[in-house]
Amino acid sequence: MSNTTITIGISCGDINGIGLEVILKSIGLKNIGKKFKTIVYGSTKVIAYHKNIITDENIQFHAIDTPAEAQAERINVINCWTDNVNVTLGKSDKVGGECAQKALERAVKDLKSGELDALVTAPINKKAMQMAGFPFVGHTEFITNAFKIKDSLMMMVSDSLRVGLVTNHLPLREVAAAVTKERVLRKILILAETLRIDFNIERPTIAVLGLNPHASDEGAIGDEDDKIVRPAIEEAKAKGVLAFGPYPADGFFGSGQYNKFDAILAMYHDQGLVAFKALSFGAGVNYTAGLPAVRTSPDHGTAYDIAGKGEAEETSMIKAIYLASEIVRNRFEYLDMHANSLERRKQKSIITEAGEEVEEDNVIPED
Residue-wise pLDDT tens digits, 130-162: 999 999 989 999 999 999 998 999 999 999 899
Question: Which is the CATH superfamily of the domain at 1-149+291-361?
Answer: Isopropylmalate Dehydrogenase (3.40.718.10)
Residue-wise pLDDT tens digits, 327-336: 999 999 998 8
- Tell me the C-alpha distance between 16 and 95, whole Å: 9
- Tell me the C-alpha distance between 247 and 213, whole Å: 10
Q: Establish whether domains 1-149+291-361 and 151-287 are of one fold.
A: yes
Residue-wise pLDDT tens digits, 29-43: 777 877 889 999 999
- Tell me the C-alpha distance between 227 and 17, whole Å: 44
List the chain domain ranges: 1-149+291-361, 151-287
The share of the chain scoring above pLDDT 90, in percent, equals 77
- Tell me the C-alpha distance between 115 and 113, whole Å: 6
- Tell me the C-alpha distance between 115 and 254, whole Å: 44
- Tell me: pLDDT of 355 over 50: no
Residue-wise pLDDT tens digits, 75-133: 899 999 999 999 999 999 999 999 999 999 999 999 999 999 999 999 999 999 999 99
Which of 126, 119, 198, 138 is CA-nearest to residue 162? 198
Residue-wise pLDDT tens digits, 166-209: 999 899 999 999 999 999 999 999 999 999 999 999 999 999 99
pLDDT of 217 reads: 81
What radius of gyration, in Å, describes the C-alpha atoms of the chain? 24
CA dihedral 26, 27, 32, 38 (to 10 degrees): 130
Question: Which is the CATH superfamily of the domain at 151-287?
Answer: Isopropylmalate Dehydrogenase (3.40.718.10)
Higher local confidence (pLDDT), 5 or 304: 304
Contact status, residue 10 vs residue 67, Cβ threshold 8 Å: no
Contact status, residue 165 vs residue 155, Cβ threshold 8 Å: yes
- Tell me: pLDDT of 341 over 60: no
Residue-wise pLDDT tens digits, 278-299: 998 878 999 999 999 999 999 9
